[in-house]
Amino acid sequence: MKAIDYASKSPKEVRQAIRNKEWTGPTAGMAKGHVQANLVILPKDWAYDFLVFAQRNPKPCPVLDITEPGDPEPKLVARGADLRTDLPKYRVWERGELVDEPTDIISCWRDDLVAFLLGCSFTFESALLDAGIPVRHIECGCNVPMYITNIQCVPAGRLSGPMVVSMRPIPAHQVPKAVLSTGRFPAVHGSPIHIGEPSVIGIKDINRPDFGDPVPINQGEVPVFWACGVTPQAALMASKPPFAITHAPGHMFVCDPKDSDYAIF
Amino acid sequence: MKAIDYASKSPKEVRQAIRNKEWTGPTAGMAKGHVQANLVILPKDWAYDFLVFAQRNPKPCPVLDITEPGDPEPKLVARGADLRTDLPKYRVWERGELVDEPTDIISCWRDDLVAFLLGCSFTFESALLDAGIPVRHIECGCNVPMYITNIQCVPAGRLSGPMVVSMRPIPAHQVPKAVLSTGRFPAVHGSPIHIGEPSVIGIKDINRPDFGDPVPINQGEVPVFWACGVTPQAALMASKPPFAITHAPGHMFVCDPKDSDYAIF
């Protein structure tokens, strides 16, 4: 099976396949039309700081669900799911260092862990594609280019750091439509935070992203920047919590709601 | 001085007048065009539950700012302000009971208190008025009618309760515009949650609101319901925290941002 074979499956079927280890790869394209989410799991002691940070920086940190301490079921977005088994790959962190990359986290689950699910760009990329706007890194079959900016997030407790942005080159005449079609989704990063002029936000070389892969910007295209879900993870890891678990890049949690459930108009 | 005399003052000037006890009345109409906010102050021990409740119920609980424990300055929305003195009237609660209604809270401030500022309907009422849509309770010079619904909020920790809604009668042909003009402000309650058919959300008699004042619904008008900021306060008070402070109804905190800063388009 390929990811595309799961495009028409329900989120529950996809999660079951992942739980059964029938699928261990990236989730892009699975259960098409349904929201996928970034995962951050922290001890309760760190959950408040993380939540305040998210509230103060809603564009890079759109929180979709928060579990009760010790409970691995995200009741708001996937009743019956189990966050310990229903993602294909995880990353386990100790004091900000990556220590393991398991396919489930049954053995390291604890009663004091709180899981946060955060919106990811897959939702608004679907909106761009639906609006007839090309998404370059999908065309290229590579990861989206991401950049550390000179925009400082509003700090909260032990968490602080720069905003990380993702970039998509958009034909100049389609930039307004790209703004409006993603602005409909404020719960999943929403409208761009910057359009054109990368140097203004501290990007020295657009061809050398800090994360992901470079993509070509063609004649007549403008680089458009959206707040990126890597921002909270980077701020978190920089502050070195004793223990944390995240999804492995690209290996997201498939939620029940549809992308359109997060559109405000 | 009347509130209207403060319409053209800056938020900082209004807060200074309140701090000096030159103004002790309701804040509607002051520093026109600037956001006003509901205030909830809780011991740190209760802050996490409250924040999770707000995140799970974003329409009735739009969080605009959260202070650091013990720090009365809301740095995001009013740098230099002091939440202990800059509202005209407060309510002090012990185990869910109202025990005092002071004009400042200097004497009961504590190092473990966290303040939450929540969006209030003044912002979207300005948007309605700007769109040429009448706001009945403003025309009548009374409080907005509010109703306890049969819609249950998503619980969080010790907090649970029904959603409270406010109602504005809107001429049928202007209902679409009312939806769109308030939908632009998802950070301050956003679009309505229900239009027409009050009985569906458990409202037995539209002429007997649970809070506020009844208003006439004229021929050709439809009752339109928005999620109300009373929801989080009611859920909180029902769970009887040992200590809490809120604003007194109508006596809001005047923030620096403009209403338009919270518009997403």
The shortest C-alpha distance from A69 to chain B (Å) reads 10
B52 touches chain A (CB under 8 A): yes
Strands ordered across the beta sheet of A146-152: A146-152, A162-171, A221-227, A194-195
| A46 secondary structure, DSSP code | H
DSSP result, A212-229:
S------TTEEEEEEE-T
**pLDDT per position as a tens digit, B220-235:** 999 999 999 999 988 9
B47 touches chain A (CB under 8 A): yes
Structural domains of chain A sorted by starting position, each given as residue range(s) with its CATH number in brackets: 3-120+239-260 (3.40.1640.10), 122-232 (3.30.2040.10)
Average pLDDT estimate for A152-177? 95
**pLDDT per position as a tens digit, B29-86:** 899 999 999 999 999 999 999 999 999 999 999 999 999 999 999 999 999 999 999 9
List of E strands, B172-236: 194-195, 221-227
* Widest Cα–Cα separation across chain B: 54
The shortest C-alpha distance from B150 to chain A (Å) reads 19
A155 touches chain B (CB under 8 A): no
Q: At what angle do helices B122-130 and B175-183 cross, to 10 degrees?
A: 130
The 3-state DSSP class for residue A4 equals: helix
Counted across chains A and B, CB pairs separated by less than 8 A come out at: 45
Mutate to test the interface with B, among A42, A52, A76 (most CBs of B within 10 A): A52
The shortest C-alpha distance from A48 to chain B (Å) reads 6
Instruction: Answer whether residue B1 shows pLDDT above 80.
Output: no
**pLDDT per position as a tens digit, B205-221:** 999 999 999 999 999 99
Instruction: Answer whether residue B3 shows pLDDT above 80.
Output: no
Interface contact B51-A52, CB threshold 8 A: yes
Interface contact B264-A47, CB threshold 8 A: no
Residue A65 token pair: 């669900």
Which residues, in sequence order, are CB contacts of B91 under 8 Å at separation 6+?
B98, B100, B101, B245, B246, B247, B248
**pLDDT per position as a tens digit, A155-164:** 999 999 999 9
Which residues in B lie closer than 8 A to residue A193 (C-beta atoms)? none
> In degrees rounded to 5, what are phi and psi of residue A130?
-60, -30
A51 touches chain B (CB under 8 A): yes
List of E strands, B78-193: 90-94, 97-100, 113-119, 146-152, 162-171
The 3-state DSSP class for residue A209 equals: coil
Residue A205 token pair: 């070389």
The whole-number pLDDT of residue B204 equals: 96
CB-nearest to A154 from B76, B191, B264 is B76
How much is the ipTM here? 0.79
Q: State how far the Cα of A199 lies from the Cα of A197, in Å rounded to an integer.
A: 6
Beta carbons of A226 and A1 less than 8 angstroms apart: no
Strands ordered across the beta sheet of B194-195: B146-152, B162-171, B221-227, B194-195
Q: A95: buried, middle or exposed (CB in 10 Å: 19+, 13-18, 0-12)?
A: exposed
A66 touches chain B (CB under 8 A): yes
Interface of A with B in 120-149 (CB under 8 A): none
The whole-number pLDDT of residue A157 equals: 93
The mean predicted confidence, pLDDT, of chain A is: 94
Residue B175 token pair: 């209902």
Instruction: Answer whether residue B124 shows pLDDT above 90.
Output: no
The shortest C-alpha distance from B209 to chain A (Å) reads 28
CA torsion through residues B199, B204, B208, B210, sign: negative
The whole-number pLDDT of residue B145 equals: 95
Beta carbons of A46 and A241 less than 8 angstroms apart: yes
Q: State how far the Cα of A27 lies from the Cα of A250, in Å rounded to an integer.
A: 6
CB-nearest to B183 from A47, A63, A264 is A264
Interface contact B264-A265, CB threshold 8 A: no
Residue A109 token pair: 């689950």
Beta carbons of A12 and A74 less than 8 angstroms apart: no
Q: Name the residue in chain A with its Cα closest to that of B184.
A: A264
The shortest C-alpha distance from A137 to chain B (Å) reads 27
The shortest C-alpha distance from B176 to chain A (Å) reads 12
The whole-number pLDDT of residue B237 equals: 86
Question: Taking Cα atoms as reference points, which of B22, B106, B21 lies closest to residue B72?
Answer: B106
Interface contact B55-A52, CB threshold 8 A: no
The mean predicted confidence, pLDDT, of chain B is: 94
CB-nearest to B191 from A76, A156, A264 is A264
Interface contact B66-A56, CB threshold 8 A: yes
Interface contact B55-A63, CB threshold 8 A: yes
